[in-house]
Each structure stands twice: as C-alpha cells, then as structure tokens.
Structure 1
Amino acid sequence: MTEPVVIERVFDAPREVVFTFITTRALATQWWGHDGMSLPEENLDFSRLGPWFAQVVGAEGGRYKMSGQVTKVVPPSLVAFTWGWHDENDARGAESHVMIMLDALDGDRTRLVLRHGHLQPGPQRDNHSKGWVATLARLEKALATSLSN
C-alpha cells in the first residue's frame, strides 16, 4: 500500500507569480532542493509537457539524480509530473507522481497543495516529506525576496 505525502502552504504572493516560480527554469533553480544543495545539472522546465531532471549535490558532497516527465500543465493552477530516483549506475528506480495545485486567495495570496503519491510507507515517504518541506521553505524565501525588490 502506498501512502502520499500531502503538504499545504499559503504564500503571500499572487497565484500567477507562484506558478511562474514553479514552472520557469531560471526561477525553479533558485529554490529546488534543500538548503546547502547545489544544482550542477538540471532541466527544471515545468512549463511544458516532456522530460525534466535534476542532479543535486548535498552539503556532504553526495550526488543525487532524479528525473521524470511533466504530465500536465494548467496555467496558473496545476503542474503534475512523474519522479524517479537514479542509482549510482544512473538506472532510474520506481516511479512516483507529484501534483502541485495552486488556489488564489484573498489579498494576493496563494494556497499551494503538493501531493506526492505512489510512495512506499517508511523511509521513502518520510524522506520525500522532509525534502518537500525544506524545498517549499526555500520557495517561500525566493518569493519573498522577489516581491520585496
């Protein structure tokens, strides 16, 4: 039995701006991953259907690669994509599914609901949950910085 990760956040930014930060490659690279991670290789274009990938390097020096297919884009409210981790031989593992839904709220705020499904209970699900919490915190900082300029 799989168990999805579901995370909800409210951002002090208009939905169109949040959508742009999620779907635009140059902006996505500002917030993708945990603090202390770098992105030496990526194609984080979630604006269109097709392949995406990212290779991150953690603060401890470990390299991690993930990839998938963008399966649905509905501006400015929805992005969906598949996700698979690669092993040390670059073989792609089990596929999971991510959906990011955006709702406009009063006062130019946006509710983001992230659902990452088809995850096995235990460490796989827990690690994705922690990763998304950290990544969405970086998105919040990137949005705040952009809107204050």
Structure 2
Amino acid sequence: MSNNEIVSKVENDRVLVLERVFDAPRDLVFQMFKEAEHLKRWWGPKGWEVPVCTVDFRPGGVWHYCMKCEDKNQGQFYGMESWGKGIYKEIVEPETIVYNDYFSDAEGNINESMPSTLIKMEFIEVDGKTKLVNRSEYVSAEALKTVMDMGMMQGITETWNRLGDLLASLK
C-alpha cells in the first residue's frame, strides 16, 4: 500500500473497512482527530470547509460540525451545508477512537431518515508512519449502499488527501 492509496473492502455486506498509511507519527495523526482547530483545516471533501466544529473529546462527548461547499465549480452543491454529529464511545490515546456517526441538523438533532454508522478507527505505528484503519459498521447492506451511492468513497478519499497534505505541511 502506497501513501495516498486507500484500500477498501466490505465485510458481511455492511462493514466498510478503509486503510491508508500517512507519512507522519501516530501521535500527530491521532491529534488531528481530537481537536476542532485541526479538524476545521482538513475535514470534508475538496472544496468544502468546516465553518462550525465543536469537539468534546471523551467517551460520551459529542463532536458536532457543519461542512459547507465553498467551491462555485461544484454547481448544485455550492452553498450546501451538511451537518454531522459523532458521539464518542471509546477513546484510547493514541490507538483507537470509537464513535457513533450521524447526519444531523444545526441544533444537533439526529436525522433518523439517514443511515448512522458505528466507526472504529485504529492508529497503527509502522516504521515512523501511521496506518489508519477505519471500520464503518452500518445496520444493513442497504444503509451502506445508500452512503456509497451518495459518493462517500470520493468524499473520504478527498478528505484523507487533505489530511495527508496538512500532515506533510506540519513535518
């Protein structure tokens, strides 16, 4: 697996496993996920910014954010907002983050009509680099298909590319 390449597979028809190696120490990669100031710099696909981001990084704490399309070249998406909410279940620094991920509104109310996800992220040190393994478990194969059809793979690829660029700039 080379840098910038995401390896993906589906397990049991409803678990999406994504892996990528980042050329940065594990502590630094982990830190990028725990502080709002960092997340605002890279979270979301290309052309999207994060004007709102609050993080209470502890089990039971909430991560609430808004992604907004600022790229006029994205046509119908320009100006669109997408709100999300994570509720942390388990945190082991700098190894693991487990949280429930939801679509939400600006007040943090969960959108029950959209699929939720149980996400487990593992940060594995490999020769001074970090292998990030992201397991996203959906309630059904249909729920996974819904987010895939929404362009989730392109979105996560662009998001992780932005993270990789930020990490490279911090080295």
Q: Which bracket does the TM-score occupy, shorter chain normalised?
A: 0.7 to 0.9
Task: Report what 1:125 is aligned to.
Answer: 148
Task: Report what 1:14 is aligned to.
Answer: 25
Note if contact 1:68-1:84 (Cα within 8 Å) is conserved in structure 2: yes
**SS of corresponding position for 1:23:** coil
**Superposed CA offset, 1:74-93 (max 9, x none):** 01111111111136995522
Separation (CA, whole Å) in 1 of partners of 2:30 and 2:55: 13
Bigger CA drift: 15-24 or 113-122? Answer: 113-122
More relative contact order, 1 or 2 (CA 8 Å, 6+ apart) = 1
One-letter identity of the residue aligned with 1:140: G
Separation (CA, whole Å) in 1 of partners of 2:120 and 2:55: 15
Separation (CA, whole Å) in 2 of partners of 1:24 and 1:42: 9
Task: Report what 1:28 is aligned to.
Answer: 39
2:103 paired residue among 57, 61, 85: 85
Task: Report what 2:162 is aligned to.
Answer: 138
Separation (CA, whole Å) in 2 of partners of 1:141 and 1:3: 30
One-letter identity of the residue aligned with 2:118: H
2:86 paired with 1:76: no
Separation (CA, whole Å) in 2 of partners of 1:87 and 1:52: 13
One-letter identity of the residue aligned with 1:24: E
TM-score (norm 1): 0.86
Separation (CA, whole Å) in 1 of partners of 2:154 and 2:79: 19
**SS of corresponding position for 1:111:** strand
Shift of 1:103: 0.6
One-letter identity of the residue aligned with 1:130: Q
Note if contact 1:5-1:128 (Cα within 8 Å) is conserved in structure 2: no
**Superposed CA offset, 1:102-127 (max 9, x none):** 11111x11111111111614231343
Structure 1 residues 16, 88: CA separation in 2 closer, same or farther (over 3 Å shift)? closer
Separation (CA, whole Å) in 2 of partners of 1:141 and 1:48: 27
Task: Report what 1:56 is aligned to.
Answer: 67
Provide the aligned length of Structure 1 versus Structure 2.
Answer: 145
Note if contact 2:66-2:106 (Cα within 8 Å) is conserved in structure 1: no
Separation (CA, whole Å) in 2 of partners of 1:12 and 1:43: 27
Task: Report what 2:4 is aligned to.
Answer: none
TM-score (norm 2): 0.76
Q: Percent identity?
A: 26
One-letter identity of the residue aligned with 2:58: R
- Unmatched segments (≥5 aa) in structure 2: 1-11, 72-77
